[in-house]
Amino acid sequence: MKASAPGKIILFGEHAVVYSRPALAVPVTQVHVDVEVLDSPRKGIWIHSQGIDLHAELNSLPADHPVGSVILNLFSTLKISSLPALDISIDSTIPVAAGLGSGAAVSVALIRALALHLSHPLTDEQINDLVYEIEKLHHGTPSGIDNTVITYAKPVYFTKGRPMETFNVGKPFTIVIGDTGIPAPTKESVGDLRRLWLRNTNYFESIFNEIAQISLIARRSIESGKPELLGDFMDHNHSLLQEMTISSPELDKLVSAARNAGALGAKLSGSGRGGNMIALVDQAKAESVAGALISAGAKRAIITEIK
Ligand code: MEV
C-alpha cells in the first residue's frame, strides 16, 4: 500500500497558536513524503529510507527513533502484538528540520500506508490524533497545527483545543518560500518564548492578541478573494515575531531581500530562528523574488500556489 503527505507552511500565527490564538496554515504539495508498505519475504519489519540512509530492522533501532516509535505506537493502538514481515520504503522531498513539517509528514504517510496495508483503515481524525501524540514526544508542547494541516492536506484555521476548521481560498495566490538552511529547533524557540512570557505575561499576551486579529482578518481576506491584502499583514506579523525574539539576522535578511525584489509582504514562517520565511508575490514576480532570496543566502526557494 502507498500513501503520501505534503509539507506545510504557516501563513500567520505561529507561536501565538501555542497560547491558543488562531493561526492559518496551508499544505505545500510541491514537497511530499511517499511511503510504500509491502509484505516482506524475510522476517521482521525492514525500513528503507534513501534520503536519511536508513536500511534497518525495526528492533535494531533505538526506542526513541522517530520512525520506529511511529510504527510501534500504531501497532499498540491497533492492538497488533505479533509483528508482520514488512518492507517499508520512505521517500521524502521535504527538507528536514526546515519548518516544512517533514517529521509530521513522515508520521502521517507512514501511519496511513501501514494501517491500509494491515486492513485497519483509519479516519483522518484518528490519524491526526495519533500523529499529535507522536509530535508531543518530540516537541514538548506543540499546538497541533502541523499535524492537522498535513493530515487533512487543506488550508486550516486552527485554534488549539477547538475542532479544526478548513477554509476556502477565494482567489489563488503565490507564495515564495525561502529556506535559511539553518535548522529551526521548535522545542527551543517555543521554550525560550515561554520563559519570556512567564516573566512579562501582559506584554506577550497583548502581542498574541494582535496576532490573533491578524489571523482572523487574513482568513477573511483569503476567503473573500482579496489575497493582495495579505502583504501588509505579513509585514506586521513579522515585526511582532521580531519583538517575540523569534526572528534571526538570516531570516530578517531574506525578508528584506524579498521586499526589495518586489514582494507584497514577507515574514518568517514556523518556529523561526532558522527554517523558512515566506513572501507574497504577484505570480509574474515569483521567479525574480526566488532569485533574490538565493542571492541573499537562501539554501533553496520554493514557489507555491495557494488554492
Ligand atoms: C511550528 O511549526 C509552529 C509553532 O507555532 C509551534 C507549534 O504550533 O506547535 C512554532
- CA 304 to centroid of ligand 1, rounded, Å: 21
Which of 166, 186, 205 delimits the end of a domain? 166
Please indicate, yes or no, whether residues 90 and 234 belong to a single structural domain of this protein.
Answer: no
Q: Which segment of 58-62, 183-187, 286-290 scores lowest on mean pLDDT?
A: 183-187
Task: Locate the ligand 1 atom nearest the alpha carbon of residue 146 and give its number.
Answer: 2
Task: Tell me the catalytic residues.
Answer: 146
Average pLDDT of span 56-77: 93
List the grid coordinates of 7: 509539507
Pocket residues for ligand 1 (CB within 6 Å)?
10, 14-15, 17-18, 99, 142-143, 145-146, 186, 190, 270-271
Q: Are residues 148 and 239 in the same domain?
A: no
| pTM for this entry | 0.95
Q: At 292, give phi and psi (nearest 5°).
A: -65, -35
Question: Do 19 and 118 sit in the same domain of this protein?
Answer: yes
- Mean pLDDT, residues 118-138: 93
Question: CA-CA distance, 295 to 171, in Å (whole number)?
Answer: 30
* pLDDT for position 166: 94
pLDDT digits (tens, 9 = 90+) for 284-296: 999 999 999 999 9
Can you say whether the dihedral through the CA atoms of 293, 295, 301, 305 is positive or negative?
Answer: positive
Final residue belonging to a domain, choices 138, 166, 194? 166
Q: Are residues 80 and 123 in the same domain?
A: yes
Ligand 1 atom, smallest distance to 14 CA: 5
Q: Return the closest-CA partner of residue 6 out of 87, 118, 100, 74.
A: 100
Domain that holds residue 226: 173-306
Q: Of 105, 140, 166, at which residue does a domain stop?
A: 166
What is the atom index within ligand 1 of the atom nearest the CA of 141?
9
**Is there a single domain that holds both residue 7 and residue 151?**
yes
Residues 27 and 101 in one domain: yes
Q: Which residues contact 45 (CB under 8 A, 6 or more apart)?
A: 57, 58, 71, 83, 84, 85, 86, 88
Atom 10 of ligand 1, nearest CA residue: 271
